[in-house]
Chains A and B, each alone.
Chain A
Amino acid sequence: MKTSTARFARAAIVGVGFTLAAVSVALAHHSFAMFDSDHQIKVSGKVTGFQWANPHVYIEMDGRNVKDEKAQAQHYTVECASPGILTRIGWKFNMVKSGDEVTVIIAPLRTGEPGGLLKQLTLPDGRKFLNGGPAGKPNIE
């Protein structure tokens, strides 16, 4: 009995790594592999639209990559998690408005198109919001 339990415990411990790997990619709606999380960028600008709906919330904004001096201002489409995931980490459906000056850290689309997956949002009042567990955290400041 002791051996069986010990064996199970060992299997469970070995399982932790696998399970976490599996869980971390059991993503809502779709894989995030289309975004490059290793080369995140920081964009500041004005919100032109905020869509709070499933399967994803979107921030539309005219902004500029602030870490690239040569970067031109352009329109960015920023994909966020779902209303449910965001609600559970403190977002509200009306906390972003057209005209707001915001800063986002995003994992850009690998295609080079001006869009990406949100990692962190900074509102005009300085409050910062992440994008939930599946989307992952920012790796730049």
Chain B
Amino acid sequence: MKEMTDSNKDGQSGDARRCRGVTAMLSAATILGLLASTPALAADAPAAAAAKDSKPAAKIPNARTGMTGQWNRYPEIDEKPSPEFPPAAPIPPPPLKPKYKAEWEAHRKMLADAEAAGKPIFSNYTACLPDGMPAMMMGMFPMEVLQTPGQVTIIQEAYNQVRRIYMGEKLPAFEDAEPLFWGHSSGKWEGDTLVVETIGIKEDVKFRDTPHSNQMRIVERIRLLSPTMMEDQVTVTDPEYLEGPWQWRWMYKRMPGYKMLEYVCESNREYRDETGAARMKLGK
């Protein structure tokens, strides 16, 4: 699977470079006091492009209610990205500590080799188990955000996955957080950005086969980029397994009028053969 080999070979993602660029911009501007507000400083390429555009940009709705609705990953397969919203940089490989890195790389190579040989390895997802957090936020299928008092609920159509983000909730200590597929999430607002902290993910719910401890923390910064675009900046930390933060960004495009479909993984014909490969059962 190419997903397994999409690591940025120079080991540095565009996101990381961009984060540093933004940080530098922030520092410089803070020192010089050139700009009035920090949100303007956080402007990225799309916003900068929009600013240059002569026509006034459409007003971004109030984030506290405006995230509600249906969203599709962006760009969708075969979708030509708009110049105003360049696609997010590829997700970098996890910054695993050296003692875990070799094993992870060997595992990924085994998966990629099996894929290339036409014998893809059977996975938990193929077994109809949901991919949990943070994977469900990639937006495999359409996603629905519901903002209600004290709570933001996100539904991923694939496997009917639901996560509930409780606003202002105090999270349990790591060792007291029951391991779950979607964990325990607490949200707060920083300006128009929804900042969500998630802990308590099951050990075998691994994003890109990356091992983690019960001290893994996922911090998401979710914001509207325009009336029809939204992004989720994800930062994963884990003092046991990771040398530093693992960061990437997902983007979504609004699906006006879309009605979410049910998804029950009820008739799985894929099975694990004796070699561990996924096979399709033939019907009659």
> Which of A's residues lie within 8 Å of B, judged by CB?
1, 3-5, 7-9, 11-16, 18-26, 28-31, 33-34, 36, 48-49, 51, 53-56, 58, 60, 75, 77, 79, 82-85, 87, 109-111, 113-115, 133-134
Alpha-carbon gap, A30 to B280, bound state (A): 10
Flag if A19 contacts B90 (CB, 8 Å): yes
B89 at the binding interface (Cβ < 8 Å)? yes
Q: A12-B14, A30-B278, A77-B280 are in contact. Are A84 and B88 (CB under 8 A)?
A: no
Q: Are A5 and B48 in contact (CB under 8 A)?
A: yes
> Which residue of A3, A54, A79 contacts B265 across the interface (Cβ within 8 Å)?
A54
Contact A53 B76 (CB under 8 A): no
From residue 55 to 85 of chain B, which have CB atoms closer than 8 A to chain A?
A: 73, 75-78, 81
**Is the C-beta of B264 less than 8 angstroms from some C-beta in chain A?**
yes
Contacts A60-B284, A115-B282 given; does A33 touch B115 at CB 8 Å: yes
Contact of A30 among B89, B116, B125 (CB under 8 A): B125
Q: Which residues of B contact A29 (CB under 8 A)?
A: 125-126, 128, 265, 270
Closest residue on chain A to residue B86 by CB atoms: A12
Choose, from B2-10, B98-106, B145-153, the stretch at the interface: B2-10
Given A12-B14, A134-B77; A26-B141 close (CB under 8 Å): no
20 A-B pairs (CB sep. < 8 Å)? A5-B21, A12-B14, A15-B14, A19-B88, A19-B90, A20-B87, A21-B3, A26-B138, A29-B265, A31-B1, A34-B118, A36-B118, A53-B264, A55-B267, A55-B268, A58-B267, A84-B141, A111-B279, A114-B282, A133-B77
- Interface size, B (range): 35 or more
**B45 in the interface (beta carbon within 8 A):** yes
Contact present for B14 and A113 (CB under 8 Å): no
Q: Which of B247-284 contact A (CB under 8 A)?
A: 261, 263-270, 277-280, 282-284
A34, B2: Cβ atoms closer than 8 Å: no
Question: Quick one: given A15-B87, A77-B283, are A8 and B21 in contact (CB under 8 Å)?
Answer: yes
Cα-based distance from A132 to B50 in the complex (angstroms): 32
Q: How far is it, in angstroms, between the C-alpha of A109 and the C-alpha of B282 when the chains are bound?
A: 10
The residue that A109 contacts in the complex, of B14, B141, B264, B280, with Cβ under 8 A, is: B280
Among B15, B81, B116, B120, the residue within 8 A (CB) of A16 is B81
Complex: A33 Cα to B269 Cα, angstroms? 16
Using A4-B24, A33-B1, A55-B270 as known contacts, list a sample of 11 further A-B pairs with CB atoms less than 8 Å apart, ordered by residue number in A. A14-B14, A15-B13, A15-B90, A19-B90, A22-B2, A23-B75, A30-B120, A30-B125, A75-B283, A84-B263, A110-B118
Partner among B44, B125, B280 whose Cβ is within 8 Å of the Cβ of A79: B280
**Does B123 reach chain A (CB closer than 8 Å)?**
yes
- Cα distance, A134 to B208, chains bound together (Å): 19
Q: How far is the CA of A16 from the CA of B269 in the complex (A)?
A: 34
Q: Which of B8, B116, B267 contacts A54 (CB 8 A)?
A: B267
Cα distance A87–B278 in the bound complex, in angstroms = 26
Q: From B7, which residue of chain A is reached at the shortest CB distance?
A: A18
Tell me if B157 counts as interface (CB < 8 A to partner A).
yes
In the complex the two chains form, is B280's CB within 8 Å of A115's CB?
yes
Are A12 and B267 in contact (CB-based, < 8 A)?
no
Q: How far is the CB of B75 from chain A (nearest CB, A)?
A: 7
A8/B3 in contact, CB under 8 A: no
Q: Is B167 an interface residue (CB 8 A)?
A: no
Enumerate chain B residues within 8 angstroms of A60, measured Cβ to Cβ.
283-284
Chain A residues with CB below 8 A from B267, complex form: 51, 53-56, 58
B49: shortest Cβ distance to chain A, in Å?
9
Contacts of B15 in A (CB 8 A): 11
**How far, in whole Å, are A124 and B125 apart by their CA atoms in the complex?**
35
| Bound form: Cα–Cα A4–B265 in Å | 45
Q: Chain A contacts of B280 at CB under 8 A?
A: 34, 77, 79, 109, 115
Please name all residues of chain A whose beta carbon is closer than 8 Å to the beta carbon of B28 when the two chains form the complex.
1
